[in-house]
């Protein structure tokens, strides 16, 4: 069975444009290496009912759900309590975390600080090396911090807990050409290789049109076929190749 994932980025600052998310690409790459298909990401505000609704939708829909943001000590950190409600759980104060906090923060600790020791009943805590405050897991939902350094540390701790499939690998070619020029033959290549997802990403380089072609698949033979077909296509349209894979994926290396 294919493993799928949904990501819920929580935070008003993402929807006001004040903060640019840095977490999704990190999560996406990690999931790809583990062969888990990231199907959807939603960015929502710090509103209880919105969080509850989306948590309950996503946890039915995907194998795994990951959230970022809203687990700190301030009034706008409502993710943990909202997730408890989504699961119909009460909250409890985790004694071990509480003691750790008292030792770590000493007289600097306040009742606000200790909010980060409260979790939904049934949560499994996710320790991490970047912060004394743990993330947590409720069934298939993994709840992480919003600060990228802390989020990454939590995600690195979570990844080994997940089931895995063949990794999604990719190869890419970049060349001076236009999408108009390669559009039709590239569509034919994609048509012949249903096990590969081929994407085309145009950009300007030194005032000239350039395109990056990316092929992704869990099937190494299909990916190798795609690499050969794409390189042939680029030669045929006389595109100057700027960047190509060092080595093509070799099915017998796997």
Compare residues 89 and 200 and give the one whose CB is closer to a second copy. 200
* Contact by Cβ (8 Å): 163, 3: yes
Query: C-beta of 252: minimal distance to a second copy in Å?
Result: 25
Distances in whole angstroms, Cα of residue 248 to Cα of each of 31, 86, 207, 210, 227: 22, 46, 30, 22, 7
Compare residues 27 and 175 and give the one whose CB is closer to a second copy. 27
Q: Is 158 exposed, middle or buried (0-12, 13-18, 19+ CB in 10 A)?
A: buried
Beta bridge partners of 204: 209
How far apart, in whole angstroms, are the C-alpha atoms of residue 230 and residue 140? 39
How far apart, in whole angstroms, are the C-alpha atoms of residue 28 and residue 10? 16
How far apart, in whole angstroms, are the C-alpha atoms of residue 11 and residue 127? 22
Compare residues 122 and 148 and give the one whose CB is closer to a second copy. 148
Compare residues 27 and 123 and give the one whose CB is closer to a second copy. 27
Compare residues 200 and 221 and give the one whose CB is closer to a second copy. 200
* Contact by Cβ (8 Å): 224, 232: no
Q: Which residues bind a second copy (CB under 8 A)?
A: 11-22, 24-29, 32, 38-46, 50, 72-76, 105, 108-113, 115, 147, 168, 170, 178-184, 186-187, 190-191, 197-203, 214, 216
């Amino acid at each position: 069975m294919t493993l799928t994932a949904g990501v819920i980025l929580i935070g008003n600052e993402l929807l006001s444009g004040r903060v640019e998310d840095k977490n999704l690409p990190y999560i996406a790459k990690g999931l790809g290496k583990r062969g888990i298909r990231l199907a959807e990401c939603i960015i929502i505000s710090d509103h209880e009912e919105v969080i509850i609704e989306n948590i309950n939708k996503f946890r039915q829909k995907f194998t795994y759900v990951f959230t970022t943001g809203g687990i700190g000590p301030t009034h706008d950190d409502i993710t943990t309590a909202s997730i408890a409600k989504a699961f119909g759980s009460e909250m409890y104060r985790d004694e071990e975390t509480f003691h750790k906090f008292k030792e770590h923060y000493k007289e600097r600790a306040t009742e606000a600080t200790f909010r980060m020791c409260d979790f939904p009943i049934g949560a499994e805590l996710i320790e991490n090396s970047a912060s004394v405050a743990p993330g947590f897991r409720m069934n298939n939902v993994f709840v992480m911090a919003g600060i990228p350094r802390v989020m990454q540390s939590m995600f690195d701790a979570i990844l080994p807990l997940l089931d895995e499939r063949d990794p999604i690998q990719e190869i890419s070619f970049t060349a001076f050409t236009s999408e108009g020029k390669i559009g039709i033959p590239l569509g034919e290549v994609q048509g012949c290789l249903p096990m590969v997802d081929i994407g085309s990403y145009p950009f300007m380089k030194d005032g000239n049109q350039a395109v990056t072609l990316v092929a992704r698949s869990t099937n190494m033979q299909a990916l190798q076929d795609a690499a050969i077909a794409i390189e042939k296509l680029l030669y045929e349209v006389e595109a100057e190749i700027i960047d190509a894979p060092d080595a093509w994926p070799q099915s017998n290396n796997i």
